[in-house]
């Protein structure tokens, strides 16, 4: 199989868990006992609706052009419906025009556009601004998750959602900045993949170096040479401008696409 970003085995295991992979509701085409095309599904709530998520799809090169992915998907719909699923969400690279065309023919509609960033770790390593004396930075736990949506400029994608993180919270470093014991910014980071999963700052405290300090703190835990930020809304100027401050431009764009059954 060919993907834009390559993964190590341990990253794949963590990714499947984070995305809510359900083997019983995933499907494949076999040639004898060999898988030649597959669709791995995550299941969970998305926008308050029981939803299936494309955790991974692929077809062996010699079997492409036969419409196997479409056949798998069409076969899966009644089974997913019977399991209580009423929508399907996926992300697809915008330059993968053939895949986008297939999904549109299946009835998917574009719901959002995302940027994705990926750069060597040393691009992000420089001296952080000094925080005000009444600010502190330290690790937080999941009890703070109920407050952080107030900081968001957009709702996270499936794989970056709080629900995804809570599937295995110990896989993430959770760092917060506090002012007089009040949380004013945070970052959720997955060391095994180098993925900045969420980062946000209270709007009243932006442009004070808080996000920069959060990045410098989470870099201490990175087990990879590259740092990624996947699925940031293209309309979120705060994230795009923040990455530009590191001279980091988007590597590409994705569509989020949804089909309601």
Cα separation, 34 vs 56, whole angstroms: 17
Instruction: Name the superfamily (CATH) of residues 9-115.
Output: Gcn5-related N-acetyltransferase (GNAT) (3.40.630.30)
Q: Are 252 and 95 in contact (CB under 8 A)?
A: yes
Q: What residue spans define the domains of the chain?
A: 9-115, 117-252
Predicted confidence (pLDDT) per residue in 206-235, tens digit = 999 999 999 999 999 999 999 999 999 999
Q: Are 201 and 184 in contact (CB under 8 A)?
A: yes
149-163 as b/e, with b when 16 or more CB fall inside 10 Å?
A: eebeebebbbbbbbe
Predicted confidence (pLDDT) per residue in 40-51, tens digit = 999 999 999 999
Nearest to 231 by CA among 199, 203, 201, 186: 199
Cα separation, 67 vs 236, whole angstroms: 36
Model pLDDT, residue 3 = 46
Q: For 15-24, what is the mean pLDDT?
A: 94
- Cα of first residue to Cα of last residue in the chain, in angstroms, is 29
CATH number of 117-252: 3.40.630.30
Predicted confidence (pLDDT) per residue in 194-209, tens digit = 999 999 999 999 999 9
Q: Answer yes or no: same fold for 9-115 and 117-252.
A: yes
């Amino acid at each position: 199989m060919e993907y834009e970003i390559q993964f190590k085995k341990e990253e794949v295991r963590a990714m499947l868990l984070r995305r809510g992979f359900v083997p019983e509701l995933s499907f494949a085409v076999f040639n004898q006992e060999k898988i030649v095309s597959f669709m791995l599904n995550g299941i969970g709530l998305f926008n308050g609706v029981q939803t299936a998520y494309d955790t991974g799809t692929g077809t062996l090169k010699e079997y492409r052009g036969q419409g196997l992915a479409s056949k798998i998907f069409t076969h899966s719909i009644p089974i997913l419906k019977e399991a209580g699923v009423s929508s399907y969400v996926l992300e697809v690279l915008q330059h993968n025009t053939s895949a986008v065309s297939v999904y549109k023919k299946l009835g998917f509609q574009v719901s959002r556009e995302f940027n994705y960033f990926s750069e060597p770790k040393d691009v992000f390593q420089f001296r952080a601004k000094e925080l005000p004396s009444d600010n502190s930075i330290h690790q937080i736990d999941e009890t703070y998750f109920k407050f952080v949506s107030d900081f968001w400029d957009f709702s996270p994608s499936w794989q970056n959602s709080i629900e995804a993180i809570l599937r295995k919270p110990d896989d993430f470093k959770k760092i917060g900045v506090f002012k007089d014991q009040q949380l004013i910014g945070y970052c959720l980071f997955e060391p095994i993949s180098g993925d900045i999963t969420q980062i946000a700052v209270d709007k009243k405290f932006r442009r004070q170096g808080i996000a920069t300090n959060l990045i410098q703190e989470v870099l201490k835990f990175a087990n990879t040479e590259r740092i990624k930020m996947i699925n940031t809304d293209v309309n979120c100027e705060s994230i795009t401008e923040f990455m530009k401050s590191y001279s980091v431009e988007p590597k590409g764009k994705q569509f989020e696409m949804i089909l309601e059954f």
